Structure 1
């Protein structure tokens, strides 16, 4: 049900529910903050997290799969409530596949739009980077900065040197 990436690049389910990872270990493995992991678990987004005798959260490969999915959905912009709804649907079983699929399809569409916008923003930054590198390399003033080109008829708004 929950997929993990294996070395060949495909995803496979992990049903191993042996608790073996602390929050700190999971945070390091997944490059997430311990706070975020605890928050997701407290919000009921990660099913079946075990507790040690000292009441510390203990994660299995199975629960790591859920955590990866939850974090992915959050990073695509799905609100906590939407993630919770998705997890609840998963736990209801196969009768919810159409609704889960629709949610994933909508998130993919939303993410594609975000990527389109980010690509445009990256092009602006690439242009400005090249522009500034040229200024630095050739020690020229910034021809795009209006403060460098104030006409005599305009009030002096340039900062005093």
Structure 2
């Protein structure tokens, strides 16, 4: 049997996270001793690893709780568990696509700054310089006058 501290060390979670997950009912096999101290056996450690993995993939606590409850109900819930995982996978893929767009934007920005540092481009990112370059990019600058 392992203490909260040991369970945290084994799983790579914080002690706070271990307590939080057990308090949320995400580790159904956790036991308590006569002093009400949490004790973790190998099954509990496995639940913690599973919860950690699902959290790292971005699954909300409520969905993990649903998943744990379905697991406890048995094999008859495999279709529901499959659906839950597929929906989460779709959400994760959408987040991945969004992250790819963020990376592409950052790549453009860092390439621009590299060009500025190497004196291959003028600093178009500094509003103090915009008056000097407005003639070059009049289509992207706000103008209060109607054209």
Q: Is 2:11–2:48's contact at 8 Å kept on the other side of the alignment? A: no
TM-score scaled by structure 1?
0.69
SS of residue paired to 1:74: helix
Alignment correspondent of 1:50: 31
Identify, as 1 or 2, the structure richer in helix.
2
TM-align CA RMSD? 2.4
TM-score scaled by structure 2?
0.75
Size of the aligned set, in residue pairs, is: 132
| 2-structure distance, mates of 1:131, 1:61 | 52
SS of residue paired to 2:104: helix
Per-residue CA deviations over 1:85-128 (Å, capped at 9, x if unaligned) read 11111101111111111101111111111111111111211222
Alignment correspondent of 2:142: none
Q: Which runs of 5+ in 1 are unaligned?
A: 1-18, 152-161
| 1-structure distance, mates of 2:104, 2:40 | 41
Question: Which of 79, 83, 100 is the aligned partner of 1:98?
Answer: 79
Residue 138 of structure 1 deviates from its aligned partner by 4.2
Counterparts in 2 of 1:29 and 1:121: CA distance versus 1, 3 Å? farther
Q: Which runs of 5+ in 2 are unaligned?
A: 133-147
